[in-house]
Structure 1
């Protein structure tokens, strides 16, 4: 093994290989402060160096786990002491911004918010947006097919990638840096690496699809009495605001109540409503868009669809509304708390949540379940706090959350991926034929199962 590490240092330089105390000084992930324990961590600077590292690992049968921002929620980047960690922290360059074709070519280690800010200087928008924007990386976003708060308008990461470059397990570089919206020449190979959690290749460079930056942003927090009213509101706003509706974030009453407890966020309205929605519309004509937005809100208030509404008057007030939705520390402060990310048809959401809460209540009478979701794209997030015990209760909570999805045709993962955490539940959401094809792809592209081994499914 020492020979392997010496060869690794020769390839990328001694400063690019982190071992011993320096390695232990790193946290295991954004969520886990425990010291990182692995064979070593290597920090290549270029795709050529990534290729050389993987070629060497292939020769030695060395397992590799790629690390980006480590903000994933399903243990998809967990390592053991035998794994080599391949960190893309030095590959952060924004190589090109094409203001005419509206694309950006970036290295996979670039942080999402850094890319957003860079293209904004040219009046452009990279619309993927999520709470971890300041830490997560573009490569991680690709590997997990990240979603976030703007999916209802712009789609998930899959819809925002025009091309990419990836390195296979044997070091082969697949450069498919397509910059065109239309390219139907053969297989769309980038799809092999989007959402496959680093199990088929290491993404090193990405061509992102950009949009013209909106000039207007209109935001509101509204309160409603029923989930039926939530659905009616969504339909009404999609009709009246058209393509401008960019976010529709629903919070069940218990969630809103918990995060606005004294000492946490200041409640901008009564805390006793059944549902709350943070909605946002972005457009190209500030005056006309504001009028359209106000007219739409007035209509749903007059129709009795909405009980109350708050419209922020400043950027600070808008940020305060969004922080209620995005900052759930008041909930995760309860230990243990288990986070879930599921998808299912919107029409079944209310009954599904009731079923989950009923199961949890039977299991843990003192437990709580807090729910919020993107709704417009069929995505719910649940926080389960048993009110007792420790992390060993996780499998029991899993059963209460996942089993009710089966008759509804739902998915155990809307946007977080599978990793290790949801691995035993993957069969609930994928057919035998689909799983067989996944395994065939894995065995074909990574016959030694060196890349992120043990994640997603067993080969």
Structure 2
């Protein structure tokens, strides 16, 4: 275990990716293994010192941002693949291991680990689990929670709870791992995990579809679920406001419908993963041709190669470059009933413009799993009016009975809005769990609840 203090504290450990000022921790502790984590937490528990767990520091809500006079517990040294069990279809990893390393290890073993995020090269698997990360393939494989079979966790007092279960069926008492998945390091520190792997896809089919309106989006989603079944792995929707910025203002992004003068009401990127190219590729092509012939899809572009697929995905992933395209902006990640997303987007766009003259917003998201992303900004402003924008965005989330966080967590940035998505009774139960597991309140204090 190494300990860094004062000027030796790296800048990277003073913040995550949330738009907040950095904070210098009292010290950065870098454990080499579970025993070190246990010792560090035991000492801090006895001394009453706050501890902020850190992984890849790619969180967007402040969950791993340090607080003053606290210890930053960085798991960056706890990297590695401990075991791949081909018979069980599992991979056991250390919590600090980057997601991309887990993906490659599964691939090298002839398997597929489907969790995928834009920050795959930097984010740590322990952080993915502690925020219950989602990503692009939730519609088929579920959230990080569905990919986790077992965990090893260190409690705030240093107690090590090892439950590295490999079995899909295990109903021996409470399934304790679910206490820690999604708890953002407030109840315990994840140190190791047993994850489910899946069969490696033998073929990938990607298409970009231009649709008339959101009713067409819902009809296409229903058809894809019905006719493609388990092949369907991603269903990404982009409203025209997002599409125009992505294809006209982001360098390197090409409009796949260039030359199509039609004004479309929505754009959908569909991905399907198959196991038999001789069967699944023609099946996907026939299905899409049928949608075109029936008039359900006015126009579509089908990837003919992996580079084509990457180019189509590039339109959806262009949001990572929006800071250069539109300047300072506020990104949001909300959960909504799928049928209500277009109504929400319309209301939110109008209400933001009415509340903040000149404000603009754009909408996109995974849709099939109930996850809408939106970006709001005030052109020409050094900083968008955060409070006013959040009041509109989250006020409508409450009105539509949605969630203020679909996949990014709560951290500190969304904590004031938690009551818009959870009842007082639910929040009270969360606090009861926190008090039971962390009676001194030393572990990631001030986060989530």
Measured against the shorter chain, the TM-score band is over 0.9
Tell me how far 1:316 sits from its aligned partner.
1.5
- The 1:32/1:409 distance shift into structure 2, 3 A limit, reads closer
Q: Structure 2 CA distance, aligned partners of 1:377 and 1:362?
A: 30
Matched, 1:182 2:174: no
Q: Does 1:397 align with 2:389?
A: yes
* Deviation (angstroms), 1:196: 0.5
CA distance in 2, matches of 1:330, 1:68: 24
Determine helix, strand or coil for the equivalent of 1:256.
Answer: helix
Cα deviation for residue 392 of structure 1 reads 6.6
- For residues 20 and 303 of structure 1, the distance between their equivalents in structure 2, rounded to whole angstroms, comes to 67
Structure 1 unpaired stretches of 5+: 1-11
Aligned counterpart for 2:347 among listed residues 341, 352, 355: 355
Q: CA deviation at 1:431?
A: 1.0
Alignment of 1:367 onto 2:354: no
- CA gap 1:383/1:38 in 2 versus in 1, 3 angstroms: same
Task: For residues 161-185 of structure 1, give each alpha carbon's deviation from its aligned partner in whole angstroms, at most 9, with x where no partner exists.
Answer: 0010000000000111111000000
Q: Whole-Å Cα distance in 1 between the matches of residues 273 and 221 of structure 2?
A: 16
Deviates more, 1:379-388 or 1:327-336: 327-336
Structure 2 counterpart of 1:8: none
State how far apart, in whole Å, the 1-side matches of 2:130 and 2:68 are. 23
The DSSP-based 3-state class of the residue aligned with 1:260 is helix
Counterpart residue number, 2:3: 17
Matches within 5 A, 1:130-169: 130-169=117-156
Instruction: For 1:280-429, list aligned pairs within 5 A.
Output: 280-333=271-324, 334-391=326-383, 393-429=385-421
- Give the CA deviation at 1:81: 3.0
Q: Please give the per-residue CA displacement for 1:46-104, whole angstroms capped at 9, x wherever unaligned.
A: 10110000000001100000111111111111212311100000001100001111000
SS at match of 2:121: coil
Q: Which residue of 2 aligns with 1:53?
A: 40
How many residues get paired?
443
C-alpha RMSD of matched pairs (Å): 1.6
Task: Determine whether 1:273 maps to 2:264.
Answer: yes
CA contact (8 A) 2:111 2:199 kept: yes
Q: Distance in 2 between matches of 1:56 and 1:64?
A: 11
Does the Cα contact within 8 Å between 2:208 and 2:312 map onto a contact in 1? yes
Which residue matches 1:4? none
Describe the SS at the equivalent of 1:241.
helix
Give deviations 1:396-439, integer Å, cap 9, x for gaps: 11111111122321111111111111111101111111111110
CA separation in 1, counterparts of 2:166 and 2:370?
30
SS at 1:382 equivalent: strand
1:24–1:37 Cα contact (<8 Å) kept: no
The alpha carbon displacement at 1:386 in A equals 2.0
Q: 1:418 to 1:45 in 2, by over 3 A?
A: same
Q: Which residue, out of 439, 442, 449, partners 1:447?
A: 439
> Using the alignment, how far apart are the partners of 2:321 and 2:200 within structure 1?
33
| Residues 24 and 35, structure 1, Cα contact 8 Å, conserved in 2 | no
Q: SS of the residue aligned with 1:261?
A: helix
Counterparts of 1:33 and 1:424, CA distance in 2: 15
TM-score, with length taken from structure 1: 0.94
Tell me what 1:9 maps to: none
Q: Give the whole-Å Cα distance in 2 for the aligned partners of 1:193 and 1:329.
A: 29
Give the secondary-structure state (helix, strand or coil) at the position aligned to 2:79.
coil
**Matching residue within 170, 190, 194 for 1:203:** 190
Q: Which stretch shows the higher mean deviation, 270-279 or 116-125? A: 270-279
Change (3 A) 1:147 1:222: same
- 1:276-332: CA deviation from partner (whole Å, max 9, x where unpaired): 111110111111101110011001111111121111222112111112111314423
Pair 339,262 (structure 1): closer, same or farther in 2 beyond 3 Å = closer
**d(CA) in 2 for partners of 1:440 and 1:33?**
29
Q: In structure 1, what is the Cα distance between the partners aligned to 2:250 and 2:315?
A: 13
Give 3-state SS (helix, strand or coil) of 1:440's partner.
Answer: helix
Distance 1:108-1:24 versus aligned 2 partners, 3 A rule: closer
Secondary structure, counterpart of 1:328 in structure 2: helix
Residue 49 (structure 2) pairs with residue 62 (structure 1): yes
Deviation at 1:30, TM superposition (A): 4.0
Residue 261 of structure 1: aligned partner = 248
1:74-93 aligned at under 5 Å gives the runs 74-93=61-80
Q: 1:126 aligns with which of 107, 113, 117?
A: 113
Q: CA deviation at 1:391?
A: 4.2
1:115 aligns with 2:102: yes
Residue 3 of structure 1 is matched in structure 2 by none
